[in-house]
Chains A and B, each alone.
Chain A
């Protein structure tokens, strides 16, 4: 892993998602912040930048696609990963067009998300 600490933001309206990911990625040395509503998550992103954002798709208010769009505007380097229990080809394609890094269907193995995040870190570094 790199010397600099990777900053990860997670937003999902089900609290268990943030709690779980905090456990898993905190353990392997990530700096992680979690939110259950997208408005607060976006407010946090406006204050500081994150390397990776993991967002749920269907949320009350601002949904995952909208989070993706705004992150892309705020900080194009940030890699966005969408996790969802309702993966349809249409939304996947829409997300793709908006520049999503990866699309993961819930439930998934934590190891799968870890691998996706490692790839995101690599692509981030390659761009640098």
Chain B
């Protein structure tokens, strides 16, 4: 559908419905109620984000009470918008209800029951984690990492597990089982009976109808990308596996499984039934004495015909401070290595800038775990050919490649890793699993840490704020412009004056991030938390204290930066027995945040900008905000609702034709009723924009000569694809002391600036939308590109589509907001008629540069 049609539909349905007029003070107070409720909900969401930095101590009770507060605030916002719009958003409560249910399911640990029974590893997103379990979650992260190769495959999810439980009438027994595990003094006999019954029943459970077909289709798809003969490895992926606790070897795996639906299903049942194995339950009671609901999914991956397999640790657990790492390996499948069935080769590597093999101890390898070659699959120990018995299982090239990947994965996951690898018969390296490597604390090690640290020079201490906790070390890399990110090296510490969400490009490679200005509530901070990058913000003067390339260690727990590599701190990090981000409270809060905070409804012009298009709490709030603003805009437009005197003309030295509607504190009380001078404007954001528009030279007064072709074009087509004559003569600013909503219609383009600005950074935002023009689409699009280029230079996040530009920025301090709004004011003036001059693509760069250099005269010079 063309944008034009969308706009037509949109305007017809939502924007221009005539309604009755209500007393304006009432409408304004209702509008303020909406903003208040909206802000309250947004504040709670932002607050949750901050709690995830690791700098706070919170518990489950906090999670529960916060969710309740957030839901109450959401309901208040929904009620408020319905009062303001006289129930035009009556569907919102119905849209919100399932969202609320999902969040409550997370709170009740029931979020592993909703979703598809089968998911491809490549399709797994973070929201699917409860559904696919810990191991598959990590594998999917690896799969999206272009530096490593992971065997393709799919996950039979926890949804199927729960379906089996329900379908086979096992729900009462399963609930009883969970209940027994959550009691401190479970009746052993009772537990034993329930566990054996469940194990037996699950082993013979009937599949839901149609599931075997789904499975068969997935196997066909997998076969299409594999060379025959191909087999599958089916491994457990339980909810808690590889998260806080490894559950290493606790559940069942089936290897070399035939790629037939029935065989895979039977193998899956064996994996699922192992949830009720005695040894798994014993382990579980040890690590979760209070009980914790658990379900099980299974990863079904293509089996790699292994030449050799093994394990690599990215840190030597015996000598964590030594800057070396170790690997073991043997010929054939890795199962024999992890279960200690065969002697293994041992390798030690240096971890410096150039990786070197320091030591090789080669075992005599008489046997290897290899496919039986039987038609029904299976593996067996088999004799190794004479020539290979005493040779290393990997050659030097592969060893170095493996070591490089281990270093990369340590930076990627921000912790030392325990990695399972395999090399196929063609010499291609695959990663089968990567989990945090836990190093046992030496008994006397920790208490003396603070003494050991005294030997290191402190570059900064007790400064800045923690955006994300953690410890990272590496060479300092300065980022002055975003272009610097292109050469960001693996494992470096990013140092920059200010923060930017664009840093996300290198976060996987960064050991830590330090900025001179910034706030833990910024978008960058949110991204650091998602990707677990240790990050300190607001560390003044750091650029002057650290030389580019110099090695530093950032302790974003105690807010300290050391010169050099502090091995004791890095060892400490690897040896703490708990990865905070894997703790159940953190994971729960993170899931909740993901469910509520993602913003899908970004563009009010798009078709999905409807209540039904809302997927998250944030979407609902965005919709409510936009709807409330439009309600006022429309009010300002409707002469019947605007008794003379409410919309007041501005008296400016430029011909901008702006009417201002003050909803509180935006205009000095002693200002004249009409023809308000600039000096009487009290609205902080509006004043800043006007200041920019009035900047000498930014607002060119002459009319651009429009070519005949352009004129014909504008007459023929424009009225449909911009918001047409609706706004003629009414450039309206709805203002308060801290708010502006400015709708411009200059000639044929339509421009909105919506900004909130006061002394709390978190509340501040600028939303900018620009659409249309009088010329043909090529020229208009060039102008859109020009605007986008300039806004990007000022750190806006920008989306363009043809001649539509949507840009936003937020979390700026008040002075930065005012500066940015001033620039927007100049930009509005500068680009007002500029599409006429956008005759070729080079013009975009030329005008962008002129604007950035402050040469506004270029427009008039033409």
Contact = CB atoms under 8 A, between A and B. Distances in A.
A14 B56 contact: no
B57 A106 contact: yes
A70 interface: no
A107 interface: yes
Contacts of A31: 447
Contact of B55 (A12, A27, A29, A109): A109
Contacts of A109: 55-57
A118 interface: no
A116 interface: no
Contacts of B572: 27
B57 A23 contact: no
Interface string B574-615: 001010100111000000000000000000000000000000
Given A1-B450, A14-B60, A110 B578 contact: no
Interface of A: 1, 5, 12, 14-17, 19-21, 23-24, 26-31, 83, 85, 106-111, 113
B810 to A, nearest CB: 23
A15 B585 CA distance: 10
Nearest to B59: A14
B450 A29 contact: yes
B283 interface: no
Given A14-B61, A23-B578, A85-B62, A5 B55 contact: no
A83 B56 CA distance: 13
Interface of B: 51, 55-62, 65, 290, 446-451, 557-559, 572, 576, 578, 580, 583-585
Contacts of B451: 29
Contact of A106 (B58, B446, B578): B58
B49 to A, nearest CB: 13
B202 to A, nearest CB: 30
Nearest to A29: B450
Given A16-B583, A29-B448, A29-B449, A107 B578 contact: no
A16 B446 contact: no
A19 B578 contact: yes
B59 A29 contact: no
Give the 8 A-B CB pairs with smallest separation, nearest first.
A107-B58, A14-B59, A29-B450, A85-B61, A107-B56, A26-B446, A107-B62, A16-B585
A14 B290 CA distance: 10
Given A29-B447, A85-B65, A17 B59 contact: yes
A27 B584 CA distance: 22
B221 to A, nearest CB: 42
Nearest to B54: A110
Contacts of B61: 14, 85, 106
Given A17-B57, A110-B57, 13 more contacts: A17-B59, A20-B580, A23-B578, A23-B580, A26-B446, A28-B449, A29-B447, A29-B449, A30-B447, A85-B59, A110-B55, A111-B55, A111-B559
A79 B733 CA distance: 59
A93 to B, nearest CB: 22
Nearest to B64: A85
Contacts of B60: 14, 16
